[in-house]
A and B are shown apart, each in its own frame.
Chain A
Amino acid sequence: MRHNYKTDKGFRSLVGNISNRIDMWINVSKIFLILFAGITTLNISCKKLVEIPAPEGTITTPQVFETEAVATAAMAGVYHTMINANGTNLSNGAITIWAGTSADEFRFFLTNNSANNEFLNNNLSSSNAKLQGAFWQNGFSIIYGANSIIEGLNTSTGIRDSVKSELIAEAKFVRAFCNFYLTNLFGDIPIVNDINWRVTKTLSRSGTTDVYHQIITDLMDAYNILPENFSVGKGQRIIPNKYAAAALLARVYLYTGDWEKAEQAANDIISNSTMYTLENNLDDVFKINSSETIWQLQQSNTTFPYYATAEGYQVIPYDATSQPFIYLREELLNAFEETDKRKQQWVDSTVYANTTYYYPKKYRIGEAQQSSIGEYVEYYMVFRLAEQFLIRAEAKAQQDKLIEAVNDINMIRERAGLHSLPPDQNKAQILEAIEQERKAEFFAEWGHRWLDLKRWNKADMELGPIKGNNWQSSDQLYPIPVADLLTNPNLTQNQGY
C-alpha cells in the first residue's frame, strides 16, 4: 500500500510537475507572444505615434503650386539664384571675369590663386572649384529651378491658365538662357528637362546641334507667350518679355549661322523704338531701366552687397590706390581707337605701388560705394540693344546686305564718339569692323569676346600668340567637372583634358 501510495503520489506529482511546467511555459510564452502579436499588428495604431507636423521653415512642393502668389515666388526664386548667389556665378559676373580672362581681356592682380591662374593660362583642370561651382553647378541649378516650375505648374490645378503659361514661358526662357552659356563653354552637355534624379543621373552628353534645337524650341515657346511689355516686372525691365526671348533667339541664330532669322529677330527688337533706343551717354547705359535695356537682373538690396551688383563689387577697386581684382590686358587697352569714349567712360585706373592698372567700369557701384542704405542706381545688364545692332549688322553682312550692315555698325560707333565708317566696304572689311566693334563695345561683358573668338574660329589665331605654349586648340572648351564624371559613368571628358 505504502509503496503504491508512494508511487501514486510520485505519479501525481509527476503529472503535476508536468502540468505545472507546461502551464508556466505557456504563461511565459503567452506574455511574450501576445505582446509580440500586438507589436506586429501595430502598423496602423502606431502611425500617430510617429507623426510629426510639416516642416516649419520650408514649404512642400504641392503647397508651392497651390496659389499664384507662391508659384510666382518660385519663379522669383529662379532669378534670385541667378543674381544673388554667393560671390560671382554664371549669371552675375563669373562669365564676364573668368571667361574674359580665358580670352584676351584681363589678368588677375593676385597671381597666387591657382584656380584663377588656370583660367588665365588656359590650363583648366576638371577639379577647378570655380569651374565646378560657379559655371557648371550654378547653371544647372538654375535649370533645375526652371524645370521644377514647369513640372509643378503642369500638374497644378489652383492657378489660372494665363498665369500658368506665362510662368512656364519665363521658366523655359531661363532654361534656354543657361543651356546657351553651358553649351558655349562646355560643348556637348546633358540636356536636363526633368527634375527626377533617377531619370537624369545617367544622361549622356548631347551634341551641340541637339542642344541648340532644345534652346530654340524653348525660346520659341517663350516668344509666343511672353507679354510684349514690362507689366510682369511692374514697369521695370527685370522680368524677361517677348523681346528678351527675341534677343536670345537673334544671338542663337547668329551663332548657328542662320543669318536670315538672326536678322529678323534683331530687327524685331530694333524696330520697336518706342521701347528700345540707344542711350546717348555711355554713363547711362548700365543704369536701371536704361532705354537700351532688354533684360536686367535685379540684385536684392536687402542682402550683401546690397545696392552693388556682384560684378561691380568684385571688379571695382576700393579707391584709386587700391589693388584691383582684375585689370585689362595691354592687348585690349590697345584695341580701342584713339578717341573711343568707351575707353574713357567704361575704363578706369588705379595706381598701386607705382603701377597703373586699368579696370572695367561699366558698373559704378563697388565696395566703397555700396551701402545698405540708398536706392538702386544700376541693375545687372543681361541683354541690351547695342548687341542687336551688331547682330543685325553681322547677319546682314553675311547676306551681303553690306550698306545696311555698315549703317548698323555706325549706330554703335557714333555713340562711342567715333567717325562713321564709309559705306563702300567689302564683306571682309565689314566683318573685321564688326569684330573690332564687338571687342570694344562688349569688353568685360558676359564673355562676349571668348564666345566670339570661338564661333569665328579665331581663338587659335588670336590667343595662340599671346598665351604661348599654354594654348592648345582644345582649350576652347572647358573640361567637364570631375564631380560629374565621378558620379555618372556615361559622361565623357572633352578632348585635351
Chain B
Amino acid sequence: MKILKYCLWIPFLYTFSTFAQPSPGRDITGKVMNERGEPLANANVSIKNGRGTVTNARGQFALKNVSTNDMLQISFVGYGSQTVAVKDQVVFNIVLKPAENELDRVVVQGYGTTSDRLRTGSIVKVTSEQIAKQPVMNVLNVLQGQTPGAVVTNASGYASGTVKIEIRGRNTINSNFPSEPLYVIDGVPLTILDVAGTDNYNNGSQGMIRSGIESPAKGQSPLFSINPNDVESIEVLKDADATAIYGSRASNGVILITTKSGKPGKTNFDFNFYQGIQKITNRYEMLNTQQYIQMRKEALANDGIDITNSSAPDLVEWDTTKYTDWQKYLFGNVGNTTDFQGTLTGGNAQTTFRVGASYRTQSDILALSGANKRGTLSFSFNQRSLNQKFKLSLTALYSNTYVDIISSPGNPLIAPNAPDVYDTNGKLNYSGWGRLQGYYPFAQLLQPYRANTNLLNSSMNISYEIIKGLLLKTDVGYGNSQNDQRRFRTIASQNPRFNPKGQADFGYSLFHNLIIEPQLEYNTFIKSGRITVLTGGSWQKNETNGIIQGGAEYMNDVLLSSVNNAPIQYTSSYNGAYKYAALFGRLNYNLDNKYIVNVNLRRDGSSRFGPGRQYGNFGSVGAAWIFSEERIIKKNLKFLNFGKLRASYGLTGGDQIGDYAYLTQWSFQGNSRYNSINPIVPIQHTDSTLQWQVNKKLEISLALGFFNDRITIEANWYRHRCNNQLVNFPLPPYTGFSEVVSNSPANVQNTGIELMVNAKIISTNDFNWSLKFNISQNRNKLLSYPNFSQSPYVNQFTIGKSLNIIKRLHYIGVDPQTGYYQFEDLNKDGEIKIDLSGKTADDRYDLDRSVKFDGGLNNALAYKRWELNFLFYFRKQIGANAFASYNTPGSISNISQEVFYNHWQKPGDIAKYAKFTTDGSSDPSYQNFYTYSDGIYTDASYIRLKNLSLSYTLPEAVNKKAMMKACRLFIQGENLFIITRYKGADPAVQVFGDMPIPKIITAGVSFTF
C-alpha cells in the first residue's frame, strides 16, 4: 500500500507545479477512427507538451481552450501516432493507420493490450506470421529459438507429447513439481489438476492425461488440441511487471495465447493445404554383426568365460551371420503429414466474424504405428452497439484429436544378429529367441494405445462505457476437455509359453474450468499524462477427474474391447477440485509518452491451503523512461530514434501443488480385502502450515532503435529470487513417506541476460532482408538456506551453486595397464570411495547440467514474389554421451561405433573407453563410471536448422483469371539438420537409443477467395 500511495502522489505534485500557463483558445472537438471507419475508443488526444483527453466509445473527444498554435497528438495502441496542427480548425476527423513500426504494434498483456514502445514489463511476442512458417502440430514448438528466456523442450519424439517450457530458469529446489508457466487461452487459464500425482520437474506436466494411465508419449500436451492457424499471437510474460496481475500463479511466468478474430470488410474465404513427410534426422552409428561378434568374443575372452549355450546364447543359439538394422526397423518409417485449413472472415462496422475449420493427420516415424489426427473448429464473433458503447465478443475453439501409438519397442541396442521379430506364422517370435526369450523386446508391437480427446475453450467478453473513459467489463470463460484412453495388453503380445491372459485399461480424464472476471477500467488525462486504472475480480473453479477402469485375465483378445468381458475388473478414480478467487488492480500513468509508471496489485485466495492461510498479496511496480523523447537526445543523437530504459520489481506467488496437501488422508485400496475388510492406508505426510510461495522478480532493460528502427536492440537483465518455495520436501523414508509438501526455506536465485537484435539489412522495393537474433543466458544459484547443514539437501547442493549440479566422481581416463576406468582420489585417502551421503567420499566433483545459453537466428528474405525464411536454433549444454546406454559394452547389447573404435584392448593402450566385459559388476569402475562419475557427460551443444520456409505468391493477373484474391505456394521444413559434435542421433534426446525428433518437410498451397 505504501508504494501505491507514493505513486499516486508523484503525478499529483507534478500537476501542481506546472499547470500555470495562459490558455486563450477555443474549444475543439473531433473523432478518431481507423482506416475502416471504426471509431477508436480510449485513444489519446493531447496537446503537445500539454493537456490531453481520451476519446469516448464513439471515438469522440473534446478539448477546451486550445490555442491555434497548438499541435494535437493522437495515438492509439497498435496504430501509428499522428500530429496535427490546430490552426483554425475546430472539428477534427482523425484517421489512424495501423503501425508499420514494430515498436507500436499491439502486444497483449494481462487484461489488456500495450505496445513494445509503451510496455513497462518484459513481454515477447510471437506473431501468426511466425507461426504460419512452421508446419508443427503443436504450436508451442514455434516458441523455440524465438522467445529468449523461455527454454522449450519436447518430452518425447511423439507429436502429441508434452512440451516443457521453463521461463528464466529453475525456481524449485526439488524435482517433484513441474516448472510449467500459466497458460491463458483467450483469457481462460488452462488449469488441469494433477489428481493422479503424475507430474514432475523433469518430464513436466502430463497435460490432458489424468487417469494415471501412462501414455507412450509421456502425457499429452493440451496445446496439441489447438490449431496453430487459429492463433493470432503468443505472448510470453516474464518479469514481475508483466506477470504480477496474474498474482499467485505467475511465479513461473505466463503464456498468453490469443486467437484470431474477424475484420470488417469483404468476406474472405481462405483455404490452405499442405502435405509433407517426416523422417529420422540423424541415426546412431551402431555395430554391424561382424563387429558385434568381435566385441562379444573379446569380452568373453577378457572375462575368461568359455562360449557355451548358457554363457553366450547370442553366439551359439542365434545365427551369427544374420544382420538387422534395428534403427531402420524401428524408426525407418516415413511419416505423412496432411493439413487442411479453411477460414471465412468478414463483417462490417458493427459485426465481425471468423469461422475456421481444420483437419490434420500426421504419422510418426516409429514403424508400424503412430497416427495423430486432429480436427478443429473455431469461431469468433464481435458485435458493437450502434452507439459503440456496448461491445460483445465471443470466441470458441473446439477440437477432437485422435492418437494411436505404441511405446517404442526396444531400441537400437538390440543385438544386430537377434532373430526375427515375427515367426513363420506371423506371430511374435518369442520361441525363436531361445534362451533369451525373457528379453524379447517387441511385445509392445501388439499392445496398442489410443487416446481420443475433445477440447472446448470458449470465452465471452462484454464491455460497456458508463461515462467517457469509464468501462465496465466482464470476461466469462469456460473450458472443458474429455480424454478417453485405451491401452491393451493383448494375449498375442505375450509369450505363449506362459499361458498369458489379456488386460485392458480404459482411462477417462475430464476437466472443467469456469472463470468469471468483472472489471472496471477508467481512463483519463491528468495534465499531459494519461492515467489508466483497472480494478477487477477473478473467480475460478476447476474440477478435474481421472478414472481408470480395467479388466484383467481376459481369455481372448477379441473380448478386450469391453471391461464387461473381463473375469477380473478393477476401477479407481481421482477427483480434484480447485477454487481460486482474486481481486486485482492496475494503475498506469503515462506522461507525454516519455515517463511511464505501472503499478499492479493483487490479492489471491486459493483452496490449496488450509484455513487461515488461503489469501496472499502480490504486486509490482514498473517504470519506463523513453529517453529518446527528451529534447536533448532528439537534437544530438539523430540516429537514435528510440531509446527506453525500464525497470520493474515485484512479487508473484505460487500455489502449484496438489490439492488437499494440507489434509491428512487415508485411501481405500481398490477392491483388496483383508479379513473380509476393505482396508484403508494413510497416503501422505502433511504440513498444516502450508502457505504461498513468493517469487521476487527484478528486471532492468534497455531498448534502442536506430535509423528509423532499422536496427532495434533490447537487452534485459533480471534477477528472480524464489523463497519460501513449495516443494515436495524430501524426508528420510523411515519417517513413513519420503517427502512432504511443504514450504522450503531455500532461497533460489536466477539471474540472466537476454539480448534481442532485429535488423532490416536491406529494404528496397524488390528485395528485403531482415534478421532477428536472440540469445539468453540464465545463471541458477542456491542463494541461501537457513541451517543448511541439518537440511536434507546438504549432500546434494552447495550454497552459491546451481541447483542443476550433480556431484560425481571425476573421471580421469582408462588405466592403460588394466583397462579399467580411473577416477580422481579427491580426498587423497588412497582409495576411490563413493558415499552418497557425501561425508568422506570422492564423489564430490560438481557438474552443472544447466543449459549454458541458447538462442535463435532468423533470416527473412523477400525478392519480388518470393519469400525465404530460415531459423537456426542453438544451445550450449552438456549431455550423456554414447556410452550412456547403461548396458556394459561386451554384454548382449549393441553399442555405438564410437565406443567400439575407442576402447581398451591390451596393456599400453591409451583409450577413451574401458575394456569389454560381459559383467558390468565385475569391477566397480564400470558401475561407478556410469552412475557416479562425470565421465558419461560430454558436450551436447548444437545448432539446428529449426525451420526453413520458401513461398511464392502468384501475380494478381493469374489470380484474377482464377477468380481468386490471392494464392501462395510454399515449401516448409522443420528440424532439417543439426551441427554438433555429439555422438548420438540428436543432442536434444540424450537417452541413448530413444526415438529422435524427426524432420518434417511439407509443401502446400493457400488460396484466398
Contacts and interface: CB of A to CB of B under 8 A. Distances in A.
B670 interface: yes
B43 to A, nearest CB: 19
A195 B734 CA distance: 10
Interface in B663-711: 663-683, 685
Contacts of B730: 483, 486-487
Contact of A201 (B8, B731, B835): B731
B901 interface: no
B837 A55 contact: no
Contact of B614 (A36, A50, A77, A114): A50
Contact of A46 (B581, B733, B834, B891): B581
A363 interface: no
Contacts of A461: none
A349 interface: no
A39 interface: yes
Interface string B790-831: 111011100000000000000000000000000000000000
Contact of A140 (B535, B735, B836): B735
A32 B579 contact: no
A481 interface: yes
Contacts of B310: 353, 355
A470 to B, nearest CB: 11
Interface residues of A, number: 109
Interface string A345-365: 000000001010000000000
Contacts of B737: 141, 144, 197
B577 A77 contact: no
Interface string A24-43: 11001101100110111011
A302 B835 contact: no
A70 B667 CA distance: 11
Contacts of A39: 583, 585, 601, 603
B731 A302 contact: no
Interface in A7-38: 10, 13-14, 17-18, 21, 24-25, 28-29, 31-32, 35-36, 38
A309 interface: no
B425 interface: no
Interface in B1-27: 1, 4, 8, 11-12, 15-16, 19-20, 22-23
B603 A42 contact: yes
Nearest to A111: B919
Interface in A460-497: 481-489, 491, 493, 497
Interface string B403-415: 0000000000000
User: Which of A17, A55, A110, A126 is packed against the most chain B CB atoms within 10 Å?
Assistant: A55
B526 to A, nearest CB: 6
A114 B927 contact: yes
Given A49-B581, A137-B738, A32 B607 contact: no
Contacts of A147: 736
B578 interface: yes
Contacts of A485: 795, 836-837
A482 B836 contact: yes
Interface stretch (A232-240, A286-294, A391-399, A424-432): A232-240
User: Which of B670, B679, B731 is packed against the most chain A CB atoms within 10 Å?
Assistant: B679
A56 interface: yes
Interface stretch (B217-225, B566-574, B754-762): B566-574
A73 B680 contact: yes
Contacts of A51: 579, 607
Nearest to B660: A55
A353 B535 contact: no
B991 interface: no
B49 interface: no
A61 B664 contact: yes
A52 interface: yes
Given A56-B575, A77-B669, A372-B568, A127 B836 contact: yes
A117 B736 contact: no
A308 to B, nearest CB: 13
A132 B733 contact: yes
A80 B679 contact: yes
A486 B677 contact: no
Q: 6 closest A-B pairs (Cβ-Cβ)?
A: A144-B736, A485-B837, A487-B792, A49-B581, A77-B679, A76-B679
7 contacts: A21-B526, A32-B533, A40-B1, A70-B680, A110-B438, A141-B736, A301-B673
Interface of A: 10, 13-14, 17-18, 21, 24-25, 28-29, 31-32, 35-36, 38-40, 42-43, 46-47, 49-53, 55-61, 64, 70, 72-74, 76-81, 83-84, 110-112, 114, 117-118, 123, 125-127, 132, 136-137, 140-141, 143-145, 147-148, 189-190, 192, 195, 197, 200-203, 232-234, 236, 238-239, 298, 300-304, 306, 318, 322-323, 353, 355, 367-368, 372-373, 481-489, 491, 493, 497
